[in-house]
Amino acid sequence: MPAASLALLAAMTFVSFGAAAAGLASMQFQIGAASACFTAVTAFGLASGVRLLRPGTAAWYGVIVAAAVMVLVLLFSGWALLVPVLLGAAALVAGGRGQRRRKEAEVRSGAAAEQAVPAQKPSAGRTVR
C-alpha cells in the first residue's frame, strides 16, 4: 500500500480545504487546479503508451493523437497549469533524493556483505565472474 503518497494526498487535501475555508483560495482556482492535475496525469499516461505500444499499430497512432489532444486541453488550464508543473517538479526532486539514498544504502550494504564473506580461491577449471 502506498502509505506515503496517500498521507501526502490527505495532507494536501486538508491544506487545500483550509485555504478555501479561510478565503485564501477560490473554489474556481481549486477546481481548475484539480482539473489540470487530472488532465496532466492523463496526458502523461497516454504519452507512456507511445513507448509501451508497438510502433506502427492502430493503437500506437491512436495514443499519439489522444496524447496530443490532452496536451492541447491542458494548455487551456491557465494559471492552474502551475499546480501540476510544481507538483511534478517536487516529485522529480523527491524521487532523485530517494534514488540517491537507495544507492548509498546499497553501496553500504554491499561493502558490509563483502567484508562478511571471506574471499575464496577459485578452483582449477572454474570460471569466476
Hey, what's the torsion of the CAs at 93, 95, 96, 98, to 10 degrees? 120
Q: Is residue 118 in a domain? A: no
> Is 35 contained in some domain?
yes
Q: What is the pLDDT of residues 60-95, one digit of tens each?
A: 999 999 999 999 999 998 888 998 898 888 888 887
Domains held by the chain: number: 1
Output the pLDDT for position 122: 56
**Is residue 116 domain-resident?**
no
Residue 55 lies in a domain: yes
Decide if pLDDT at 126 tops 80: no
Give domain status of residue 87, yes or no: yes
Q: How many Å is the Cα radius of gyration of the chain?
A: 24
Residue 69 lies in a domain: yes
Q: Is 10 contained in some domain?
A: no
- Residues 6 or more apart whose CB falls under 8 angstroms from that of 63 comprise 46, 47, 49, 50, 53
- Residue 60 is assigned to a structural domain of this protein: yes
> For the chain, what is the largest distance between any 2 Cα atoms, rounded to a whole number of angstroms?
79
Domain range for 39 is 27-106
Does the predicted TM-score (pTM) go above 0.85? no
Cα dihedral value 61, 35, 75, 6, nearest 10: -80
In this prediction, residue 10 has a pLDDT band, given cuts at 50, 70 and 90, of confident
